[in-house]
Structure 1
Amino acid sequence: MTEEGADESVIRRDRFSGGPARSFLSSLAADERIFEADLAVDRAHVVMLAEQGIVDADTAGEILTALDAIEVDGHSSLPAGEDVHEAIETAVIEQVGADGGKMHTARSRNDEVATCIRYRLREDVLRALEATLALRASLLEVAEAHAETIMPGYTHLQPAQPTTVAHWACSYESAVRRDTERLLEAYGRINRSPLGGAAFAGTPFSIDRERTAQLLGFEGVVENSMDAASSRDFLLETTGALSTLATTLSGLAEDLVIFANRGFVALSDDYSSTSSIMPQKVNPDTLELVRAVAGDAAAGVQGLSTTLKGLPRAYNRDLQRATPHAWETVDAVSEATRVTAGAVATATWDEEALAAEAGAGFSTATGVADALAAGGLPFRTAHELVASAAENGADYAALEAAAEDVLGEPLEAHVDPAAVKSALDPAESVASRDSQGGPAPSAVADQLESATAALAADEESVEALEASLEGARETLREEVNGYA
């Protein structure tokens, strides 16, 4: 290079080494979250380069030793840089010399960061999954303890039909089970390695992408190199699944807040607070915050989808602003799920208060109409008769008077009085609803059996995923020790 050319090179470097936009461009502080992930990705890549003969074993050993030292020193000791990837590479070069730059052979920060995000997100999703499993276990414990605890059921917040605490708890367990399924399915699509896609157009070096995927515990690779470097649909899917979970939590939290207001349930002091001025208050503050997390999660989905909308292939710097939406959502929803699990597990149900309110508002009216229909009346006629009786009182005498008005003959002409009187009793009304998925204790027993089996299966799945990642970490460490 001529002296003039050398001067031009210095000028170009200076152009991109400072200025007021440097701090705006830098993600180094935010990248602390993926510091450990980046080190793992660096190690796997260097091991693969050595195995492929792209970097000699001695140089690989020096780089890997430097990475170990950088890990010990921690993120806070990294030199200034545009991001954690650049800072780590700079720290390696400071220790090893120019050969340290060989660690970046056959890759780009584009595929590197995509891999780091997936690597870290797997762990975060596993923590979220563990929280859903704990919540499901808490709900099933409540259901088992309260299979025969009668409670009022509502639609539009109006007394509707009597049910049981177990039936209520199982309804939420079913919803959280689907939330678990969605996160497990999202995990499967997260768990693919983009490493080796380079900037977006692949590399001329004879790399082994399957090998780095194996060393990092991924199930395979994102095959197309452009897709590998640029796609963030896995973030959107995961954030969407978390938002759905948060919506489930918000409904559960709202129910408990209302039940606490009506004296049906008492929350543990660990999940309540008091007023700064009113000493008698026991406020369901934790559940109110759980309820609010649904808004945070929805904002995460909106922020992420808006950032990703209309981005051209391949890498765009907008993606730097996309990932924090996912981190914030997974943290908030995971914590809210754990708190909800604890609140459910430690709450105390007032069985007497629940039973006393179970029949309020003539909540057994539907059961009475069903009994009349079973006796041969068209259901719509039975519905009219019971509605007429409801205007004058929810008892047998009111039904008899309504029968004379609506049918022009005694109620006994169409139905056994004992069947009607049984239907008027909330406990008997619940016991009669033994169809699949119903609130009768026998139907709830079946639900508990299937829910317990599903929980055990999902626990096994999560444990297997965690064991797979731990096995990959051990394998990578063994391979690194062979060089470092």
Structure 2
Amino acid sequence: MSDGEDVVRRERFSGGPAREFLSSLAADERIFEADVAVDRAHVVMLAEQGIVDDETASEILTALSVVEVNGHEALPDGEDVHAAIETAVVEEVGPDGGRMHTARSRNDEVATCIRYRLREDLLDAIEATLALREALVARAEEHAETLAPGYTHLQPAQPTTVGHFLLSYERALARDTARLLDAYERTNRSPLGAAAFAGTPFDVDRERVADLLGFDGVLANATDAVSARDFLFESVAALAGLATTVSGLAEDLVVYSNRGFVELDDDYASTSSIMPQKKNPDTLELARAVAGDAHAGLSGLLTTLKGLPRAYNRDLQRATPHAWDAVDAATDAADVAGGAVATATWNESELAAAAGEGFTTATGVADLLASHGVPFRTAHEMVATAAESGADYDALDAAAESVLGDPLDAYVDRAAVEAALDPAESVASRDSAGGPAPEAMADQLAAAADALDADREAVEAAHESLAAARETLQSEVNEYA
């Protein structure tokens, strides 16, 4: 290699590309406010423990207020937001500004900032999920007796109701809510005070910092505290589950829209650029696609975390964005689905007409025969034989002669069979727990409302706890700055 070529090579690879590749400053805008709060709580604790004198703490806390007001965009260049904020404080205070980093590492600092921000995002996702559930319960109550076709394998199966269908998704979303609340609980633990991975010789009060930041406690082992990102994949897994539930709901509504069973409000649909008669369920198609984004994020996150040695590794810088992307996408999808459900119009006449198409009451007839002494498998065969020629009493009677050797009225009277053939009567007969009959639906609606109230209270309690911690931290900061 010539001297000239060597100079070109050195210029190409000196400084810039590596620094840009390493830097997360732009992406860290999301945790800017979290970092300021974490810095404040840490400095207050350092002052209370006598590790930093009150005057220095006052200068640092005042500088942090300036940094907060100026915002992320005013930060000096840095490898990440944590280093940039510290540089800005030192520029304001002088060398004593560097005392804010006493007894901590960026390892425990960044882990704390991520948890601080993610817990707020999880609560937002839960709020969106609760709003979707509320919309489903409200419309389910309104349409508790609105007949609808039920499908398996997208084939006509049994009559049901719109309310029963909608509540099926509310119940799935209730479990999504529970998983998100669980993820929130394990996210809301403080790593701060773990330092690089082996703790610190300074007499820090980790519990005090956790309280100031609204965490429910600390992660006991210092190495685990800085290494652990299981809270990320637990959160993203819960979000992927939520996105999957929303995707299924969106798909069903897209199919029902195609069949003319439901019409989306104009705010949740669009027209074709060329075909004026079209009304497309675009928002639901996008909500359906979000599951793919969330699943990809979970796969990317787990792949990044797989096989990492213990303590901090720079790979983790690439892990966190998967969580941000997943929580934003899943929250937006739940919001859109909730709005679509709340404003949709159900075509009751089309639904009622379709409820009996394809001999959907066949199972009810077989059940009726089984309740009158015919073995269910024999009844199943008889009704299947009837279905080949029709879905009425005459076809059933002929099938009874063929399969059972006797006319149908030898087993059950005609009026009972006619009732079993009626979709509305078929639904009314399914009054076992969890069924679509009015009495069973009333119980399900009441249970869903109670579960919603309990989950709403849990979220409100979490919000109140975090708000109280913010007020306490600000009050403590005011004592110094």
TM-score, scaled relative to structure 2: 0.97
Partner of 1:20: helix, strand, or coil? helix
- Match status 1:412 vs 2:391: no
- Match status 1:132 vs 2:122: no
Distance in structure 2 (CA, Å) of the matches to 1:420 and 1:375:
11
| Residue number in structure 2 paired with 1:312 | 309
Distance in structure 2 (CA, Å) of the matches to 1:19 and 1:261:
54
Amino acid corresponding to residue 450 of structure 1 in structure 2: A
Partner of 2:157: helix, strand, or coil? strand
Counterpart pick for 1:163 among 160, 165, 170? 160
**1:133-212 alignment, distance < 5 Å:** 133-212=130-209
Amino acid corresponding to residue 303 of structure 1 in structure 2: G
- Match status 1:59 vs 2:56: yes
| Residue number in structure 2 paired with 1:361 | 358
Distance in structure 2 (CA, Å) of the matches to 1:37 and 1:137:
31
Amino acid corresponding to residue 137 of structure 1 in structure 2: E
Amino acid corresponding to residue 218 of structure 2 in structure 1: V
- What is the Cα deviation at residue 19 of structure 1? 4.3
- Match status 1:293 vs 2:287: no
- What is the Cα deviation at residue 312 of structure 1? 0.3
Amino acid corresponding to residue 315 of structure 1 in structure 2: Y
Amino acid corresponding to residue 49 of structure 1 in structure 2: L
- What is the Cα deviation at residue 413 of structure 1? 1.0
Partner of 2:149: helix, strand, or coil? strand
- What is the Cα deviation at residue 419 of structure 1? 1.3
Query: Where has structure 1 moved over 3 Å in runs of 4 or more?
Result: none
**1:448-467 alignment, distance < 5 Å:** 448-467=445-464
Partner of 1:355: helix, strand, or coil? helix
Q: CA RMSD in A?
A: 0.9
- Match status 1:48 vs 2:45: yes
Distance in structure 1 (CA, Å) of the matches to 2:179 and 2:413:
49
- Match status 1:79 vs 2:76: yes
- Match status 1:401 vs 2:398: yes
Distance in structure 1 (CA, Å) of the matches to 2:467 and 2:405:
76
| Residue number in structure 2 paired with 1:330 | 327
Counterpart pick for 1:266 among 248, 263, 268? 263
Counterpart pick for 1:474 among 463, 467, 471? 471
Moved more, 402-411 or 52-61: 402-411
- What is the Cα deviation at residue 407 of structure 1? 1.2
Amino acid corresponding to residue 463 of structure 2 in structure 1: E
Distance in structure 2 (CA, Å) of the matches to 1:403 and 1:348:
42
Counterpart pick for 1:91 among 85, 88, 92? 88
Amino acid corresponding to residue 122 of structure 1 in structure 2: R
Counterpart pick for 1:349 among 334, 346, 349? 346
| Residue number in structure 1 paired with 2:336 | 339
| Residue number in structure 1 paired with 2:119 | 122
| Residue number in structure 1 paired with 2:9 | none
| Residue number in structure 2 paired with 1:100 | 97
How far does the alpha carbon of each residue in 1:425-458 deviate from its partner, in whole angstroms, 9 at most, with x for none? 0000000000000010110010000000000110
Distance in structure 1 (CA, Å) of the matches to 2:455 and 2:117:
21
Counterpart pick for 1:240 among 237, 240, 247? 237
Counterpart pick for 1:373 among 370, 373, 396? 370
Distance in structure 2 (CA, Å) of the matches to 1:20 and 1:157:
54
Partner of 2:17: helix, strand, or coil? coil
Distance in structure 2 (CA, Å) of the matches to 1:79 and 1:56:
27
Identical-pair percentage = 75
Partner of 1:163: helix, strand, or coil? strand
Amino acid corresponding to residue 382 of structure 2 in structure 1: L
Amino acid corresponding to residue 97 of structure 1 in structure 2: G
Distance in structure 1 (CA, Å) of the matches to 2:405 and 2:219:
75
Distance in structure 2 (CA, Å) of the matches to 1:361 and 1:263:
17
Structure 1, unaligned runs of 5 or more: 1-16
Counterpart pick for 1:385 among 382, 387, 390? 382
| Residue number in structure 2 paired with 1:8 | none
- Match status 1:302 vs 2:299: yes
Distance in structure 1 (CA, Å) of the matches to 2:170 and 2:85:
45
- What is the Cα deviation at residue 414 of structure 1? 1.1
Partner of 2:309: helix, strand, or coil? coil
Amino acid corresponding to residue 245 of structure 1 in structure 2: L
- Match status 1:434 vs 2:436: no
Partner of 2:156: helix, strand, or coil? strand
Distance in structure 2 (CA, Å) of the matches to 1:350 and 1:439:
19
Distance in structure 1 (CA, Å) of the matches to 2:16 and 2:333:
42
| Residue number in structure 1 paired with 2:212 | 215
| Residue number in structure 2 paired with 1:24 | 21
TM-score, scaled relative to structure 1: 0.96
Partner of 2:296: helix, strand, or coil? helix
Distance in structure 1 (CA, Å) of the matches to 2:354 and 2:23:
60
How far does the alpha carbon of each residue in 1:357-385 deviate from its partner, in whole angstroms, 9 at most, with x for none? 10000000000000000111000010010
Distance in structure 2 (CA, Å) of the matches to 1:19 and 1:257:
49
- What is the Cα deviation at residue 20 of structure 1? 2.8
Q: Would you say how many aligned residue pairs link Structure 1 and Structure 2?
A: 469
Distance in structure 1 (CA, Å) of the matches to 2:277 and 2:464:
49
How far does the alpha carbon of each residue in 1:373-398 deviate from its partner, in whole angstroms, 9 at most, with x for none? 01110000100100000001000000
How far does the alpha carbon of each residue in 1:36-60 deviate from its partner, in whole angstroms, 9 at most, with x for none? 0000000000000000000000000
